[in-house]
């Protein structure tokens, strides 16, 4: 960075990527700023500039550089590597400390505090933001976290037995430790030495998952015309994840049309949208939604289209372009693994590709994908009669 670029940067002021600090900034404060940038998108600290954009400079640049490097290594967990540049401006030396987006997020200070960066400066990360940082590095997944106020008494034991014996081809008898089986399967986990459900385990095998996670459901609404109006039919689908998906299949079949083609003495039923497509889009929403967002999956039916709205943007590495090519990432690997065992998924990312092909063959129109706020939207066009 040269003097002109630095001048322009100072004039622009502090933002999401730039912070001004004077030379005597406390080590704890610098560590917090470094951590905040590393946990977000990276940025730079200009040492020797006041909050009022005054160029104060650094009296001993080499000593200050060494101090900043020590802070990044010793006051940040895990340790961070920063790059520091000396820039001369108005006969003063300013240090530009470049902090990269950290590869080992989340970072915290040695005082145990996690920070993130926003346009107004640093702030402590919320629980939800911290979970997202862990998920981004795949060090923890939300569906494996405990649901504190639960116990094995809430297990749908008959449903679980049917699943276990069908998939594993063995019976659960008195010689098997059920608690240990459930813990090994990540349906239960330990919290303060007590066995409780994981989020995924509770949604898959709990007797009443909405008791503790009330927003984990599917809402289907049918509107007249092509816009959201005040009059509509609505159904809330609850129960475990498989019950929700089966109920969604039933409700969608009631609302969508089926044509009858007569061939000889046989009647051939042809739904306006292939059942495989409806199944795929519902299963994907259940498997890949962001379960820490307190909102349900919503399916809106209009005269000309369906809109399936799933809480959460696309997971890391997935874009609106590459999702059409079968690129996939598992936000909820525990839930995905059990839906695959139940026969709802393949875990190889072919579902979206197959859905696009079937819709093109059946309706002549491809589905549309959109990120809208904190939702991922799939839009399927209905066939005009």
Contacts of 60 (CB under 8 A, 6+ apart): none
Q: pLDDT tens digits, residue range 237-254? A: 999 999 999 999 999 999
Q: Are residues 82 and 114 in the same domain?
A: yes
Q: Are residues 365 and 275 in the same domain?
A: yes
Q: Are residues 98 and 184 in the same domain?
A: no
pTM score: 0.68
Boundary (domain end) residue, out of 211, 233, 248? 211
> Does 87 reside within a domain?
yes
pLDDT category, 348, cuts 50, 70, 90? Answer: low
* 245 contacts 194 by C-beta, under 8 angstroms: no
> Does 357 reside within a domain?
yes
Kindly report the backbone phi and psi dihedral angles of residue 285, in degrees, each rounded to the nearest multiple of 5, phi listed first. -60, -45
> Does 132 reside within a domain?
no
Instruction: Tell me which residue range forms the domain holding 79.
Output: 3-125
> Does 136 reside within a domain?
no
> Does 138 reside within a domain?
no
Q: Are residues 273 and 191 in the same domain?
A: no
* 330 contacts 182 by C-beta, under 8 angstroms: no
> Does 195 reside within a domain?
yes
Supply the CATH number for residue 30's domain: 3.30.950.30
Q: Are residues 49 and 157 in the same domain?
A: no
* 235 contacts 251 by C-beta, under 8 angstroms: yes
Q: Are residues 204 and 248 in the same domain?
A: no
Contacts of 255 (CB under 8 A, 6+ apart): 220, 222, 301
Strand partners, 268: 261
pLDDT category, 1, cuts 50, 70, 90? Answer: confident
Q: Are residues 34 and 92 in the same domain?
A: yes
Q: pLDDT tens digits, residue range 72-123? A: 999 999 899 999 999 999 899 999 999 999 888 889 999 889 999 988 789 9
Boundary (domain end) residue, out of 177, 211, 245? 211
Q: Are residues 152 and 245 in the same domain?
A: no
User: How many structural domains are present in the chain?
Assistant: 3
Tell how far CA 244 is from the center of its chain. 21
* 363 contacts 273 by C-beta, under 8 angstroms: yes
* 202 contacts 213 by C-beta, under 8 angstroms: yes
Unique residue bearing structure tokens 């949604």: 203
Kindly report the backbone phi and psi dihedral angles of residue 127, in degrees, each rounded to the nearest multiple of 5, phi listed first. -60, -45
Residue 148's nearest CA partner among 186, 202, 185 is: 202
Q: Are residues 107 and 251 in the same domain?
A: no
CA distance 52 to 60: 22
Identify the pLDDT of residue 318: 84
Q: Are residues 80 and 149 in the same domain?
A: no
Tell how far CA 187 is from the center of its chain. 20
> Does 167 reside within a domain?
yes
Boundary (domain end) residue, out of 168, 191, 211? 211
Supply the CATH number for residue 342's domain: 3.30.565.60
C-beta atoms surrounding 190 within 10 Å = 10
Identify the pLDDT of residue 63: 95
Query: Three-class SS of residue 33?
Result: helix
| Joined tokens for residue 227 | 């816009």
CA distance 362 to 271: 10
Total length of the chain: 385
Q: Are residues 367 and 239 in the same domain?
A: yes
DSSP-derived letter for residue 154 is G
Identify the pLDDT of residue 118: 87
> Does 130 reside within a domain?
no
Q: Are residues 197 and 223 in the same domain?
A: no
Q: pLDDT tens digits, residue range 265-319? A: 566 667 889 999 999 999 999 999 988 888 999 999 999 999 999 998 887 678 8
Residue 276's nearest CA partner among 348, 352, 379, 167 is: 352
């Amino acid at each position: 960075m040269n003097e002109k670029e630095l001048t322009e940067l100072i004039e622009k002021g502090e933002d999401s990527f730039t912070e001004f600090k004077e030379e005597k900034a406390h080590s704890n404060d610098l560590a917090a700023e470094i951590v905040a940038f590393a946990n977000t998108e990276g940025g730079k600290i200009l040492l020797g500039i006041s909050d009022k954009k005054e160029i104060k400079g650094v009296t001993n640049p080499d000593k200050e550089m060494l101090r900043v490097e020590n802070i990044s290594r010793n006051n940040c967990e895990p340790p961070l590597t920063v790059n520091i540049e000396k820039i001369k401006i108005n006969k003063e030396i300013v240090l530009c400390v470049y902090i990269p987006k950290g590869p080992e997020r989340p970072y915290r200070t040695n005082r145990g505090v996690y920070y993130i960066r926003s346009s107004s400066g640093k702030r402590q990360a919320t629980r939800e933001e911290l979970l997202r940082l862990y998920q981004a590095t795949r060090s923890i997944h939300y569906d494996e976290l405990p649901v504190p106020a639960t116990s094995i008494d809430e297990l749908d034991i008959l449903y679980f037995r049917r699943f276990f014996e069908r998939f594993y081809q063995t019976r659960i008898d008195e010689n098997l430790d059920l608690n240990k089986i459930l813990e090994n399967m990540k349906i239960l986990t330990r919290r303060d030495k007590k066995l409780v459900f994981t989020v995924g385990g509770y949604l898959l095998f709990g007797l009443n998952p909405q008791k503790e996670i009330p927003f984990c459901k599917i809402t289907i609404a049918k509107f007249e015309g092509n816009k959201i109006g005040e009059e509509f039919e609505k159904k809330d689908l609850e129960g475990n994840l498989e019950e929700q998906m089966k109920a969604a299949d039933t409700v969608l079949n009631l609302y969508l049309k089926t044509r009858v083609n007569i061939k000889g003495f046989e009647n051939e039923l042809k739904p306006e949208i292939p059942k495989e497509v409806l199944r795929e889009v519902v299963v994907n929403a259940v498997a890949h939604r962001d379960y820490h967002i307190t909102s349900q999956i919503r399916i809106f039916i209009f005269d000309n289209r369906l809109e399936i709205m799933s809480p959460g943007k696309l997971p890391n590495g997935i874009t609106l372009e590459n999702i059409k090519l079968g690129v996939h990432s598992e936000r909820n690997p525990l839930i995905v693994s059990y839906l695959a065992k139940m026969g709802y998924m393949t875990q190889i990312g072919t579902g979206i590709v197959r859905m696009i092909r079937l819709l093109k063959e059946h309706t002549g129109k491809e589905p549309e994908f959109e990120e809208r706020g904190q939702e991922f939207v799939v839009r399927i066009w209905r066939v005009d009669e």
